[in-house]
Amino acid sequence: MPFGMILLIVVSVLIYLGFAHRILDRMRLSDRAALVFIAAMLVGSYLPDIPLTGNLSINIGGGVIPLVLLGYLFGAADTVSEKSRAAIALIVTALLVYGVLKILPLEPTHAILIDPLYMVAIIAGLVGYLSGRSRRSAFIAGVGAVVLTDIFTRFELLVAGIGDELVIGGAGIFDATIVSGLLAVGLAELVGEIREALVRDRTPAEVGDIEERSEEKERENSDEIQD
């Protein structure tokens, strides 16, 4: 069984037991909706690919469903600024992942410590978090970068006439999509929890001092503007 499917099954169990409720809630995704998307990806990966043109097709579980999920999460963003941040994070991450794909050989036989596709997934997850920061934006950037880069690369190969059967969202990309999404969200959740813990550990006096310094700075800026 592919590594990506094993991860999805593990995540499904965690969601079913209620361990991922808080993360999903902040992503505006219910437990039931998340399980439906995971089931669709698992089942869709075994269904026949959808032909697009010539020898190019798209896998349902690794291509269609992730795109639908990304669209759903993007539409669920509360504000225009959050949508803009998610879009910018997606573009930045996708460009970097595309550049990495041009440098790294994708054949596993060239891998020293890790499969190059997993390396791409890790980079997408890290950059997705750094550029997106919020759980939803990080997930959109990480997963979207892998999927969009795969789409663009497949069309490049199609135009160049390279490859007999080109599949968007195939086995390797399927795994990379799962790893990048989980890593991006995991980092966002970890850093978010650490920040909240630091805030909770502060005494009321420390919080008051911070607020007082902030107000003094605002008054100084206001005086400078008046002068």
Give the count of beta carbons closer than 10 Å to the beta carbon of residue 45: 22
Is 14:47 a contact under the CB 8 Å cutoff? no
- In whole angstroms, give the CA distance from residue 132 to residue 135: 8
The predicted pLDDT at position 114 comes to 65
Identity at 184, one-letter amino acid code: A
pTM for this structure?
0.81
Buried b vs exposed e over 55-89: b needs ≥16 C-beta within 10 Å? ebbbbbbbbbbbbebbeebbeebeeeebbebbbeb
The predicted pLDDT at position 159 comes to 84
The predicted pLDDT at position 105 comes to 61
Q: Can you read off the two tokens belonging to residue 207?
A: 């919080």
The predicted pLDDT at position 224 comes to 47
Domain coordinates of the chain in residue numbers?
49-226
Q: Profile the chain (227 residues) by mean pLDDT over runs of 10 residues.
A: 88 92 89 94 93 90 95 89 92 91 63 70 91 89 93 87 84 88 91 81 55 57 48
Q: Exposed, middle or buried, 169 (CB in 10 Å: 0-12/13-18/19+)?
A: buried
Query: Closest Cα to residue 142, out of 90, 85, 76?
Result: 90
The predicted pLDDT at position 216 comes to 61
The predicted pLDDT at position 1 comes to 74
